[in-house]
């Protein structure tokens, strides 16, 4: 399906660390070979975001060869002043092309008057040209990323990927996190609504250098419940003012 509010941008960085959660337990982080849906969603939100809409990542093109580099890191000890050493494994010299579109956040009925598609699309495109509104991080704080717009001489998908003629299966990976305010189902307890926070897993495949993401609400997602959390409801005159909605 083609969306009229789609944005495309180039994403580069010297290092990236899209952490495989299985390696966090021992304190020595190891990066996935490719970015996760949730990481790219966070990067796109750093370019431009408002609670009126939700970004949906359509696909990512892996432009450079996947290369890894290990570094010795001294993590902070909060309980004492002793030193420690961990080995973090980063991706290096990464370049991606990302395609995304936004959809209205149906949980925020109070922002219905702000649902001006052309306004948000125009702002998003300007923010891509300026490199984003907030700092861009490739997975972790120490991995600085850079966003660029495509110029007139080059468009999304025209540049050849290093994996143009390759098909790779990366196995089961983390897709992202579904938060309670993104759930369609909820339960009511003592007058309050609750929904489950869930981790989504999926079988990640890359064809000709392109990873096409399944939607967060897809039946292909493998769901793992984390915990039940109260859904914050927005009520006029109680926790927001109609006059403050732009």
pLDDT tens string 202-240: 999 999 999 999 999 899 999 998 888 877 776 666 666
For position 23, what pLDDT does the model report? 83
Q: Is residue 229 within 8 Å of 187, Cβ to Cβ? A: no
For position 103, what pLDDT does the model report? 94
Closest CA to 112 of 51, 44, 161: 51
pLDDT exceeds 90 at position 4? no
d(CA 120, CA 105): 13
Split at pLDDT 50, 70, 90, the class of 24 is confident
* Ramachandran angles phi, psi of 176, nearest 5°: 170, -165
pLDDT exceeds 90 at position 187? no
pLDDT exceeds 90 at position 64? yes
Residue 24 DSSP label: T
d(CA 137, CA 244): 31
Collect contacts of 55-58 with beta carbons under 8 A, ≥24 apart: 55/100, 55/101, 55/102, 56/100, 56/101, 56/102, 56/103, 56/215, 56/216, 57/98, 57/99, 57/100, 57/213, 58/6, 58/99, 58/100, 58/101, 58/212, 58/213
Q: What is the pLDDT of residues 90-111, one digit of tens each?
A: 999 999 999 999 999 888 887 8
Of residues 2 and 236, the one with the higher pLDDT is: 236
> Collapsing DSSP states into helix, strand and coil, what is residue 208?
coil
For position 227, what pLDDT does the model report? 85
d(CA 176, CA 216): 8
pLDDT exceeds 60 at position 190? yes
Helices (H), 10-134: 37-47, 117-129
pLDDT exceeds 80 at position 246? no
Domain boundaries, the chain: 7-155+162-234
17-26, 127-136, 162-171: lowest mean pLDDT where?
17-26
Split at pLDDT 50, 70, 90, the class of 197 is confident
Mean pLDDT of 174-181: 87
Q: What is the pLDDT of residues 139-155, one digit of tens each?
A: 999 999 999 999 877 88
Per DSSP (E only), the strands in 179-231 are 187-189, 192-207, 210-212, 222-230
Split at pLDDT 50, 70, 90, the class of 179 is confident
Q: Model-level pTM? A: 0.89
For position 245, what pLDDT does the model report? 54
d(CA 220, CA 123): 33
pLDDT exceeds 90 at position 83? no
Split at pLDDT 50, 70, 90, the class of 6 is very high
- Average pLDDT value over all residues in the chain: 88
Closest CA to 205 of 148, 245, 166, 151: 166
Reported CATH class of domain 7-155+162-234: alpha beta
d(CA 217, CA 211): 18
pLDDT exceeds 80 at position 2? no
Find the helix or strand (DSSP H, E) in which 88 lies.
strand 86-104
Find the helix or strand (DSSP H, E) in which 61 lies.
strand 53-62
Mean pLDDT of 16-27: 85
**C-alpha torsion angle, residues 42, 48, 50, 51 (rounded to 10):** -20
> Collapsing DSSP states into helix, strand and coil, what is residue 118?
helix
d(CA 37, CA 16): 14
């Amino acid at each position: 399906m083609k969306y009229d509010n789609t944005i495309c941008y180039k994403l580069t960085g010297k290092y990236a660390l899209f952490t495989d959660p299985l390696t966090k337990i021992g304190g020595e982080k190891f990066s996935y070979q490719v970015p996760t849906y949730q990481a790219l969603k966070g990067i796109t939100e750093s370019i431009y975001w408002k609670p009126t809409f939700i970004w949906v990542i359509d696909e990512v093109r892996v432009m450079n060869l996947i290369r890894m580099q290990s570094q010795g890191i001294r993590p902070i000890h909060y309980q004492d002043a002793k030193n420690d050493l961990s080995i973090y494994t980063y991706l290096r010299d990464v370049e991606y092309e990302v395609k995304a579109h936004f959809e209205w956040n149906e949980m925020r009925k109070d922002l219905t008057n702000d649902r001006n598609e052309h306004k948000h699309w125009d702002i998003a495109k300007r923010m891509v040209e300026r490199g984003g509104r907030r700092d861009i991080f490739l997975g972790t704080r120490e991995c600085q990323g850079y966003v660029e717009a495509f110029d007139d001489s080059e468009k999304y998908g025209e540049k050849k990927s290093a994996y143009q003629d390759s098909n790779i299966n990366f196995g089961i990976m983390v897709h992202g996190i579904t938060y309670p305010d993104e759930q369609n189902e909820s339960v009511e307890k003592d007058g309050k609504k609750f929904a489950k926070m869930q981790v989504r897993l999926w079988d990640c495949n890359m064809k000709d250098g392109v990873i096409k993401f399944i939607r967060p609400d897809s039946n292909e997602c493998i769901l793992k419940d984390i915990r039940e959390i109260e859904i914050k409801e927005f009520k006029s005159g109680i926790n927001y003012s109609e006059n403050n909605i732009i």
